[in-house]
Structures are given as C-alpha cells and as structure tokens.
Amino acid sequence: MTNSRRSFLRNIAVAGTGFALGSCGKAPSGAVQTTSSHPRGYTNLIGVSTYSFWHFDRTREDATIENCIERAARMGFDGVEILKVQMSSLDNAYLMKLKRLALHAGVPLIGLSTHQGFVSPDKSVRDANVERTRNQIDIAHKLGIPTIRINTGRWGTIRSFDDLMANKGIEPVLEGYAEEDGFGWVIDCLEQLLPMAEEYGVVLGLENHWGLGRTAAGVMRIVNEIDSPWLQVTADTGNFFEDKYEQFDAIAGKAVLVQAKTYYGGGNWYTLDLDYNRYAEILRKHNYRGFISLEFEGQEDPETAVPKSLELLRDAFRG
C-alpha cells in the first residue's frame, strides 16, 4: 500500500471520528473520545418510580403498577422503576402482563426497588432475607429488569419509621453487638447472592438507605470490600442529611441507577433543598450515563407534581 493511500484512509478514519464527535470537540490523534462521541452527549434518560404515585399511603387500587406504567408513558417518562411491595401479585402471568404493558407503552422497566435486612445476629433471619433477595433477583430477571435496589437493613432499635426519620435515620446499635458485626453479616449475605446475580444478569445496587448504608462511607465500605461488578450502588439524592453533595459524590462513581427525590407540597417525613444542577455536574464528572429515576415524595397531587418533577430533572440533566 502506498504512503498516499495510507494517508487517505487515515484521514477518512479521523473525519469519521469528527462526525461522531459533532460539536463536542476533536479527538486526540490515535484515540477515540467515547465520552464525547456518545449519541446523547451527557443527557440522561429520566424514569419514574411507581412509588411516586403511591407513597405507602394510598390504596394499591389507586396506584396499581399497570396504572403507573400508563401514567408514566402519558407524562413522557423514558422508563419505569417498580417498587416491589406495590405489586399486587408475583404470579408469572402478572409479571408477563407488566412486561407486555411496558413494551406497548414504550417505557422500559429500568429497576426493581426491593427491601431486605441483613443486620441481625439471628442467622435464620439473615438466611431468610438472602432467600427473599434471591426471589427478587428472579422477579427482575423475568421482567427483563437489569438492576434491583437492595438495602443493608438496620438494627431495629427504633421501631417506628416516623421516629427514625425524626432522628435523621440514626439509631443505636443493638445491645451486645457492634457495627463491625453488622458489616460482617451484610457482606457475607451479599456474597452469597452474587453468583445468582451474575447468572441472571441482574446487578445489585446497594442504596444509601438507613442502617449501615446511611452514610457514603458505610455504602462504599461494603461495595469496595466485596469488589464485584455485580454489586454496585443505587444512589439516592434524598437520603443524605449531612454533606449531601460530598457524600453523593463519594458513591456516584459506582452508581447503576440514580433515584432523584422531589418534595412538592412538602415532604411526608422531611423536605430537602436539592440542587439538581449540582447533582448533574457530579454525575457528569463520573461519566454516569444511566437513568435518573424520580421518587416524588411530597404531598402535592402526583398528577401535577410528577410532571413538574420531570421538567425539573430534564432541565438539569439535559447536558
């Protein structure tokens, strides 16, 4: 091949890269900037959790998963995250119905938000929660959902959730035990779940959600110690009370789903002042391209508050 032909082909390759980059800038010689050449740039798709229409304080008949899927599509969301306890059945026929409805509505099912608790000195309790989470992985797999939100669980020394929220999620360690015990139990249980998560293709997303996951340090201690691509982070903007942006930044690099809180009409337990432009900057820094899932947690009617929340998030995350 002549030198002129080599130069010609090289120039075509560079020109192709330039078209892919568009207005984002030029790639350095010999390299492709995948960050800049992504077709959506830095724009994140915005989904909505079915929790946004329910809040545990409405009947399931008022906010069935089927109804939530229809409303999400009508309002213009890009996907739906399902809160498992909101589901009316776990029968296969019901699951397949939801899968079909989401397909017809044009809103992919992006996450399954689950509950479990591994912070217990009773091995039978921990084992039961491992088995519960295995069942949840199976549900996500059947629905074609790529990630589930999981929790560490908590000590349970403050029984009332209202009281726990009034205390900013802080509760005493169970008498006779230490936090080190809790971390050991959680890590052991999650390690038992990883083979199934990998086999079924469902990423476990550990949320900053009370218990040992109340702080970024607690979440990252567990994720880093286990060190598996099948255990990552579900990052919630509304669950840090102190240094919320700094703590969010500390977990954002492992995020596979971001849950974004809004509080129109005032929060059910508390209201946080959240700067979503700042959260968007943090996620861009970490090259996060995944979904933002709205969790509306205010007292305003979801029919008005959820569309307003979508507009807010789109403005922040459009890039």
pLDDT in tens, 5-28: 334 333 333 333 332 323 333 333
237, 265 Cβ separation under 8 angstroms = no
Which residues in the chain come in under a pLDDT of 50?
A: 1-37
Phi, psi for residue 299 in degrees, rounded to 5: -100, -5
| pLDDT at residue number 178 | 97
* Residues forming a β-bridge with 207: 234
Chain mean pLDDT for the chain: 88
| pLDDT at residue number 24 | 34
Phi, psi for residue 79 in degrees, rounded to 5: -175, 170
d(CA 192, CA 150): 14
| pLDDT at residue number 43 | 87
For β-strands 292-296 and 147-150, DSSP reports them as unpaired
| pLDDT at residue number 40 | 57
| pLDDT at residue number 268 | 87
Query: What value, to the nearest 5°, has the Cα angle with vertex 135 and ends 227 and 221?
Result: 20
**Which is it for the CA torsion 45, 50, 53, 56, positive or negative?**
negative
d(CA 182, CA 124): 15
Q: Considering the entire predicted model, what is its pTM?
A: 0.86
Query: What value, to the nearest 5°, has the Cα angle with vertex 220 and ends 214 and 221?
Result: 95
CA 26 to chain centre: 33
| pLDDT at residue number 29 | 35
| pLDDT at residue number 60 | 56
